[in-house]
Chain A
Amino acid sequence: MVEVQIWGSLQQAADGRATVEIADVATVKALFSALAEAHPGLAPHLEKGVSVSIDGQIFNDAWFEPIPDGSEVCILPRITGG
Chain B
Amino acid sequence: MPLDVKPGLEARKFKLVGTRPLRPDGIDKVTGRARFGADMSAPGMLVGRILRSPHAHARIRSIDVSKAAALPGVKAIVTRDDFGDCPDDLVDIRDNVMAREKALYEGHAVAAVAAVSASVARQALKLIEVDYEVLPHVTDVEKAALPDAPLLHDDMVTQGLEETPAKPSNIASRCQFGHGDVDKGFAQADLVVERKFRTEATHQGYIEPHACLATMASDGQADLWVCTQGHYYVREACAGLLGMDLSMLRVTASEIGGGFGGKTTVFLEPVALALSRKSNRPVKLVMSRDEVFKASGPTSSSSIWVKIGVTRDGRITAAEALIKFQGGAYAGSPITLGAMSAFACYALENVKSVGYDVVVNRPKQASYRAPGAPMVAFAVESVIDEIAGQLGMDPVDLRLVNAVNDGDKSSYGPKLPKVGLRQTLEAAKAHPHYTAPLGPNQGRGIACGFWFNFGGQTCVSLNLNVDGTVALAVGTPDIGGSRASMSLIAAEELGIPYEKVRCIVADTSSLGHNDITEGSRVTFSSGLATIEAARSCIQVLCARAARIWDIPPEAVVWEDGHARPAGPNAGEFEPMSLAEIARLAPKTGGPIAGHAEINAGGAGVSFATHLVDSEVDPETGRVSIVRYTVIQDAGKAIHPAYVEGQYQGGAVQGIGWALNEEYIYGEDGRLQNAGFLDYRIPVASDLPMIDTVIVEVPNPRHPYGVRGVGETSIVPPLAAIANSVSAAAGVRLAELPMSPPRVLAAIDGMKAAAE
Residues of chain A at the chain B interface (Cβ within 8 Å): 5, 7-9, 12, 51, 53, 55-62, 65, 72, 74, 76-77, 79-82
B602 at the interface (CB under 8 A from A): yes
Query: B519 contacts which of A59, A61, A81 (Cβ < 8 Å)?
Result: A81
What separation, in Å, do the CA atoms of A55 and B417 have in the docked complex? 7
Q: Report B357 CB to chain A, min CB distance, Å.
A: 11
Q: Report A49 CB to chain B, min CB distance, Å.
A: 9
B518 at the interface (CB under 8 A from A): yes
For chain B residues 423-470, which have a beta carbon within 8 Å of chain A? 451-457
B369 at the interface (CB under 8 A from A): yes
B454-A81 in contact (CB<8A): yes
Most chain B beta carbons < 10 A, residue from A5, A9, A60, A62: A9
> B504 to chain A: which residues have CB within 8 Å?
none
Q: Report B711 CB to chain A, min CB distance, Å.
A: 6
Query: B413 contacts which of A53, A55, A60 (Cβ < 8 Å)?
Result: A53
- Name the residue of chain A whose CB is nearest to the CB of B179: A18
A79-B454 in contact (CB<8A): yes
> B452 to chain A: which residues have CB within 8 Å?
58, 79, 81
What are 8 inter-chain pairs, A to B, with CB distance below 8 A?
A7-B175, A55-B415, A56-B416, A57-B701, A58-B602, A60-B455, A81-B518, A81-B708
- A-side binding surface: helix, strand, loop or mixed? mixed
B567 at the interface (CB under 8 A from A): no
B261 at the interface (CB under 8 A from A): yes
B160-A81 in contact (CB<8A): no
What separation, in Å, do the CA atoms of A60 and B451 have in the docked complex? 16
Query: A58 contacts which of B173, B370, B599, B603 (Cβ < 8 Å)?
Result: B603
Q: A8-B177, A61-B457 are in contact. List 16 more A-B contacts (CB 8 A).
A: A12-B160, A51-B454, A57-B701, A59-B455, A60-B454, A60-B456, A62-B601, A65-B601, A72-B414, A77-B175, A79-B337, A80-B518, A81-B367, A81-B451, A81-B708, A82-B519
Scan B5-21; emit 1 where CB is below 8 A from any A CB, else 0.
00000000000000000
A81-B336 in contact (CB<8A): no
B153 at the interface (CB under 8 A from A): no
B264 at the interface (CB under 8 A from A): yes
What separation, in Å, do the CA atoms of A8 and B173 have in the docked complex? 13
> B260 to chain A: which residues have CB within 8 Å?
82
Scan B567-611; emit 1 where CB is below 8 A from any A CB, else 0.
000000000000000000000000000000001011100000000
Query: B601 contacts which of A9, A60, A74, A77 (Cβ < 8 Å)?
Result: A60
> B457 to chain A: which residues have CB within 8 Å?
61
For chain B residues 310-351, which have a beta carbon within 8 Å of chain A? 336-337, 340
Query: A81 contacts which of B262, B370, B602 (Cβ < 8 Å)?
Result: B370
What separation, in Å, do the CA atoms of A7 and B176 have in the docked complex? 7
What separation, in Å, do the CA atoms of A27 and B131 have in the docked complex? 56
- Name the residue of chain A whose CB is nearest to the CB of B370: A82
Interface residues contributed by chain B, number (CB under 8 Å):
46
Scan B156-187; emit 1 where CB is below 8 A from any A CB, else 0.
00001010000000000111111000000000
For chain B residues 360-407, which have a beta carbon within 8 Å of chain A? 366-371, 407
Q: Report A59 CB to chain B, min CB distance, Å.
A: 4
A8-B178 in contact (CB<8A): yes
Q: Report A14 CB to chain B, min CB distance, Å.
A: 13
6 A-B pairs with the lowest CB-CB distances in the bound complex, closest first: A82-B261, A81-B519, A82-B367, A8-B176, A53-B414, A59-B601
- Name the residue of chain B whose CB is nearest to the CB of A28: B601
B261-A81 in contact (CB<8A): yes
B414-A5 in contact (CB<8A): yes
B370-A72 in contact (CB<8A): no
> A51 to chain B: which residues have CB within 8 Å?
454
Q: Report B660 CB to chain A, min CB distance, Å.
A: 20
B632 at the interface (CB under 8 A from A): no
Q: Report A80 CB to chain B, min CB distance, Å.
A: 6
B105 at the interface (CB under 8 A from A): no
> A62 to chain B: which residues have CB within 8 Å?
599, 601
B670 at the interface (CB under 8 A from A): no
A56-B711 in contact (CB<8A): no
- Name the residue of chain A whose CB is nearest to the CB of B521: A81
A79-B519 in contact (CB<8A): yes
What separation, in Å, do the CA atoms of A77 and B452 have in the docked complex? 12
A7-B601 contact, Cβ under 8 Å, with A57-B417, A80-B371: no
> B162 to chain A: which residues have CB within 8 Å?
12
Query: B369 contacts which of A12, A56, A72, A82 (Cβ < 8 Å)?
Result: A82
What separation, in Å, do the CA atoms of A82 and B262 have in the docked complex? 7
B602-A59 in contact (CB<8A): yes
What separation, in Å, do the CA atoms of A58 and B754 have in the docked complex? 51
> A9 to chain B: which residues have CB within 8 Å?
160, 173-176
A80-B414 in contact (CB<8A): no
B176-A56 in contact (CB<8A): no
> A53 to chain B: which residues have CB within 8 Å?
413-414
B139 at the interface (CB under 8 A from A): no
B412-A80 in contact (CB<8A): no
Q: Report B750 CB to chain A, min CB distance, Å.
A: 36
B177-A81 in contact (CB<8A): no
Q: Report B412 CB to chain A, min CB distance, Å.
A: 7
> A65 to chain B: which residues have CB within 8 Å?
601
What separation, in Å, do the CA atoms of A65 and B599 have in the docked complex? 10
- Name the residue of chain B whose CB is nearest to the CB of A48: B89
Most chain B beta carbons < 10 A, residue from A55, A57, A81: A81
> B521 to chain A: which residues have CB within 8 Å?
81
> A12 to chain B: which residues have CB within 8 Å?
160, 162
> B340 to chain A: which residues have CB within 8 Å?
76-77
What separation, in Å, do the CA atoms of A74 and B413 have in the docked complex? 7
B539 at the interface (CB under 8 A from A): no
A82-B711 in contact (CB<8A): yes
B520 at the interface (CB under 8 A from A): yes
A82-B412 in contact (CB<8A): no
What separation, in Å, do the CA atoms of A2 and B173 have in the docked complex? 30
What separation, in Å, do the CA atoms of A41 and B369 have in the docked complex? 33
What separation, in Å, do the CA atoms of A9 and B340 have in the docked complex? 12
> B174 to chain A: which residues have CB within 8 Å?
9
B601-A81 in contact (CB<8A): no
Query: A82 contacts which of B178, B371, B456, B603 (Cβ < 8 Å)?
Result: B371
What separation, in Å, do the CA atoms of A65 and B368 have in the docked complex? 30
